[in-house]
Amino acid sequence: MPDITDTTWWRSAAIYQVYPRSFADANGDGTGDLPGITGHLDHIANLGMDAIWISPFYPSPQRDGGYDVADYRNVAPQYGTLDDFDDLVHRAHELDLRVIVDLVPNHCSDQHADFQAALAAAPGSPEREKFIFRDGLGDDGTTPPNDWQSMFEGSAWTRITEPDGSLGQWYLHLFDTSQPDWNWDNPAVRADFEKTLRFWLDRDVDGFRVDVCDAMIKAKGLPNWPYRTKGVVEPVDGVTPPMWDQEGIHEIFHQWRAVLDSYEGVRILCAEAWLPPQRTARIVREGEMHQAFNFAYLEQLWNAADIRATIDTSLAANDAVGAPTTWVLSNHDVMRHASRYGYDGPVELESGVGANDPQPNRELGLRRARAATALMLALPGSAYLYQGEELGLPEVTTLPDEVLDDPVWERSGHVTRGRDGCRVPLPWQQAGSTFGFNSTEAATWLPQPDYFGQYAVDAQTGVAGSTLELYRAALTLRRELNLGAGEMRWAADAAANVLAFTRGDLHVVANVGGEPVALPQGAEVLLATADLEAGSVPADTTVWYRA
């Protein structure tokens, strides 16, 4: 059982993201489920993780992989039942794993009862006021209320047909048409989400990852904004985009924090906000959220100077407000880092790669990814890891067009493939047509490539040098040496494209493509992501050692 008197667990935690659709399928229908997660929690505990974060498993039409929530306080039938959820939490806690669930407060599904009620009600009604409905522009209202673009391409507005059959108002959706944005200026919306927080806290969850939390408040008057947002959002000519990072979000976070703090132990809030560290640091000030994803870190290319600058900026920004820094390299929205680093030069994080696109160098990508992970796990703070990265899984770049599920594929007119390549169901065993994802061999919801078997958990367990054993060793050492806490000190004399620092008496050298770095005579190597060459750390390799 996690120790409820430990009030700082989250400051240094290693947190494993489970994407439930693709983790493990216990009922054999081709889609993962909650009993599948429960049945494989020992895999996560044995890796040396402290917590799991589970992406949405709520009732949903799955137009955006469950981030289109139709009912915030229930479990979707394809994932199981509330009892299954309770079993999962119970088993996780037995294994000393804390459980973080996903809260999606910016928008819901158009199938949510409140949105259906809003469609059935009149303009200006309390039902409509829960969302962002506006009249269109022009004499006949055919022009959207402003020029905002959806994150999934196309306009951020959709026009409805009123109950009397006439063409009517427009509603705002920063994402898919099926994901109407809530109106967070409305106290009724706030009250309902507080109920949701309490619902899951009462079921003993240890925290929430808060989806798109920086978009919940929009600038008054919804001023036009012609720019398309991609990646970490920065002001343009000194102006903050009217849909991101508005001052009003902080009041909400304070209210939520008070709710969490009224529960036993420490329950945490983690912000998903694609903002620079200086801005996410404002979300983790005293009395607000506990931590925020560090997407600036994820965005860095394999280049020592840039990585170092981001580490410094992140630590400084978070230290200034007394919050821990977090680190992340992969999640369900971006190309897996084992493939990202297999390109030289920038890649589109969320656009997807098809069979006709330039392919990543898989061997180089994995070598760099292992080095990048060992670097990340040596940094002070909390680390988020995404299911399958412990297997060295590459992005799947061979998905046929007809299986693509990301809404961006349709919305872009079949130009942008989207994020399915990092969401392919996990291989647990080398044998079998679904590589152990289920036992019925029912086809997986996204097809697994033939080569997935070589990455399977059973193919790597106990195999020296495998990526799985590397993760296990790194996470175990990280815990033993308490690397999540404390300070780091850069070495004074690192060569070009090398990152070198100490954590107490531990030395870390990440050779980010520089000349081989000689280790001191008699160095005791604790971890190496590739073989040393004549006692030196070769390019694209990270080593932890004691001098």
CA 42 and chain centroid, separation: 22
Closest CB 105 distance from ligand GLC, rounded Å: 10
Beta-strand relationship, 506-511 and 489-490: unpaired
Closest CB 295 distance from ligand GLC, rounded Å: 10
* Cβ–Cβ < 8 Å for 115, 126: no
In the complex with ligand GLC, which residue's Cβ is closer, 215 or 537?
215
Residue nearest to ligand GLC (CB): 67
- Residue 434 DSSP label: T
In the complex with ligand GLC, which residue's Cβ is closer, 206 or 420?
420
Residue 404 makes CB contacts below 8 A (sequence gap 6+) with 352, 417, 418, 420
Query: What are the two backbone dihedrals, phi and then psi, of residue 305, each rounded to the nearest 5 degrees?
Result: -65, -45
Closest CB 98 distance from ligand GLC, rounded Å: 20
Closest CB 162 distance from ligand GLC, rounded Å: 27
Closest CB 176 distance from ligand GLC, rounded Å: 8
Closest CB 67 distance from ligand GLC, rounded Å: 3
- Which residues sit at the interface with ligand GLC, rule CB under 6 A? 64-65, 67, 104, 175, 211-212, 272, 332-333
In the complex with ligand GLC, which residue's Cβ is closer, 350 or 540?
350
Partners of 161 in the β-ladder: 167
Measured distance CA(414)–CA(416) in Å, rounded: 6
Counting beta carbons within 10 angstroms of the beta carbon of residue 231, is it exposed (0 to 12), middle (13 to 18) or buried (19 or more)?
A: middle
In the complex with ligand GLC, which residue's Cβ is closer, 21 or 290?
21
277: phi > 0 → left, psi -120 to 50 → alpha, else beta; which? alpha
Q: Between the CA of residue 449 and those of 423, 424, 433, 441, what are the distances in Å? A: 12, 9, 10, 14
Closest CB 407 distance from ligand GLC, rounded Å: 8
Closest CB 392 distance from ligand GLC, rounded Å: 23
Helices (H), 222-377: 249-261, 277-283, 295-299, 304-319, 337-340, 362-376
70: phi > 0 → left, psi -120 to 50 → alpha, else beta; which? alpha
Closest CB 250 distance from ligand GLC, rounded Å: 20
In the complex with ligand GLC, which residue's Cβ is closer, 152 or 343?
152
In the complex with ligand GLC, which residue's Cβ is closer, 332 or 337?
332
- Residue 543 DSSP label: E
Partners of 155 in the β-ladder: 149
Closest CB 227 distance from ligand GLC, rounded Å: 18
In the complex with ligand GLC, which residue's Cβ is closer, 180 or 380?
180
Query: Residue 143 is which amino acid?
Result: T
* Cβ–Cβ < 8 Å for 127, 114: yes
In the complex with ligand GLC, which residue's Cβ is closer, 211 or 420?
211
In the complex with ligand GLC, which residue's Cβ is closer, 50 or 272?
272
For 497-528, give one letter per residue: b (16+ CB within 10 A) or e: bbbbbebeebbbbbbbbbebbebeeebeebbb
Partners of 409 in the β-ladder: none
In the complex with ligand GLC, which residue's Cβ is closer, 266 or 292?
292
Which contiguous run of DSSP H or E holds residue 507? strand 506-511
